[in-house]
Structure 1
Amino acid sequence: MPQAGDAAPGFSLPDQDGNTLTLSQFAGKNVVLYFYPKDDTPGCTVEACNFRDEHSALEAAGAVVLGVSADSTARHRKFATKFDLPFPLLADTEHTLCEAYGAWGEKSLYGRKFLGIIRSTFLIGPDGKVKQVWPKVKVDGHVAEVLAALGAKAGASSAPVKKASTKKAAAKKAPAGKVARPAAPAVKKAPVAKKTGARSARTKQASAVKKPVSRSAVKKTGRKPR
């Protein structure tokens, strides 16, 4: 693995658009060459999006970002399109560049050992020499470390995220110059009794009083109808 002060190994590899990129074409600029295991996997996606979010700050610091993995150009293109990545992804399908930078080696996962890309980053200076090496990258805070090495500060990705409840509360504030008044409580109207029900009740009472007594009832009781 190259160390600070060593000449950076050159390369000539295609990016996601099929363009062949070389280290020499970036002479006079800082190059952030970062190696990652695989496209569209959790850690690699977070790392790529962090570089994307700070891309303007990295460019302002005079740096070019280049991602490298063993994925094909087609997979790179799909990954870059999905997450709107503004920098090239080099397809090192034969992992020759990974080996040149010592980013290819034995890894272990759940007790299983295998060969693969070791997440690492190299900052190459304008003179083509390695300025700084991050051999075993931890994704969280890594882009801020790269910016610090370039003498720049993190921008978009380091900004605090406002809570949604705060935004909603701000949206409900009354416009300037106007005093919000509390809304008057709603007055409930008493239910109005249906006239039809009252009339039907009186009709039933009247019919009960005026109903004539039958003759059979008179014979049984001996009373005359009123």
Structure 2
Amino acid sequence: MNRGVAHVTSHGMDTDVSILPSNLPIPTDDGACDHLPGAPLPRVLLPSTAGGTVDLSAIARTTVLYIYPISGPTNDDLPDGWDAIPGARGCTPQACAFRDHHRELESLDASVYGLSTQSTAYQMSEIARLHLPFPLLSDELLQFATALRLPHIGVKVQGRTVLKRVTLVCGAGVIRKVFYPVFPPDKNADEVIAWLKANPSRSAS
């Protein structure tokens, strides 16, 4: 299901960021997230597109948090050389996959959030563009990323630090499962669902 992700640029070329190029480099596990399994979530108030703030550490329910670098409506919004960075490309396909599997994730007693360092105002446009049924959280100040020592991509986008793609399954303030590296990003929701089915939370069992 692709809703509202195809656009025509000023160059007259149709660009669809929901389609992953076939020749993307595959990221390798550099060990940057080895410290995360079993780690407590930091008490950070993250601005939410649903309004107010969210403290992920205070949520008892199973929570799926997919962390992504940047999202934009067309390929022209991506930095030069973006596709050559392993694991960078694919934020829209990943978000759309979690959107399309949202009901199944809810049936598994799991809440879903996306997180990036983009502003809440920008993320609101992403909610509207992609029709996302779950909130996006902004770590624009890098408080959450710094506390968890999350890996970031070594290039800045419009002066902004952007995080590497990693997905966390959390519960009662603790990280239960880490997906890193995430590739291909459009299959991440399937991987999370398979893990949740094999590892039900105590509240769901």
TM-score normalised by L of structure 2: 0.64
More helix by share: 1
* Alignment RMSD (CA, Å): 2.2
Structure 2 residue identity aligned to 1:137: V
Change (3 A) 1:9 1:64: same
Q: Distance in 2 between matches of 1:83 and 1:143?
A: 16
1:6 to 36, 39, 44: 39
Structure 2 residue identity aligned to 1:33: L
Q: Distance in 2 between matches of 1:78 and 1:128?
A: 29
Larger radius of gyration: 1
2:186 to 124, 137, 140: 140
1:117 to 163, 170, 174: 163
Q: Cα distance, 1:4 vs. partner?
A: 2.2
Q: Distance in 1 between matches of 2:161 and 2:118?
A: 15
Q: Cα distance, 1:23 vs. partner?
A: 1.6
Q: Cα distance, 1:142 vs. partner?
A: 1.2
Q: Cα distance, 1:17 vs. partner?
A: 3.9
Change (3 A) 1:24 1:103: closer
1:61/1:150 contact within 8 Å kept? yes
Structure 2, unaligned runs of 5 or more: 1-32, 74-88, 199-205
Number of residues of Structure 1 aligned to a counterpart in Structure 2: 146
SS at match of 1:105: coil
Q: Distance in 2 between matches of 1:130 and 1:17?
A: 23
SS at match of 1:66: strand
**1:81 is aligned to 2:128:** yes
**1:95 is aligned to 2:142:** yes
Q: Distance in 2 between matches of 1:58 and 1:131?
A: 16
1:35/1:98 contact within 8 Å kept? no
**1:55 is aligned to 2:110:** no
2:70 to 30, 35, 38: 38
1:103/1:119 contact within 8 Å kept? no
1:58/1:147 contact within 8 Å kept? yes
1:123/1:130 contact within 8 Å kept? yes
Q: Once the two structures are aligned, what percentage of the paired residues are identical?
A: 36
Aligned to 1:186: none
Q: Distance in 2 between matches of 1:115 and 1:93?
A: 9
Q: RCO greater where, 1 or 2, for CA within 8 Å and sep 6 or more? A: 2
Structure 2 residue identity aligned to 1:72: S
Q: Distance in 2 between matches of 1:39 and 1:106?
A: 14
Q: Cα distance, 1:25 vs. partner?
A: 4.2
Change (3 A) 1:74 1:106: closer
TM-score normalised by L of structure 1: 0.59
Q: Distance in 2 between matches of 1:17 and 1:40?
A: 20
**1:22 is aligned to 2:41:** no
SS at match of 2:69: coil
Q: Which runs of 4+ in 1 moved over 4 A?
A: none
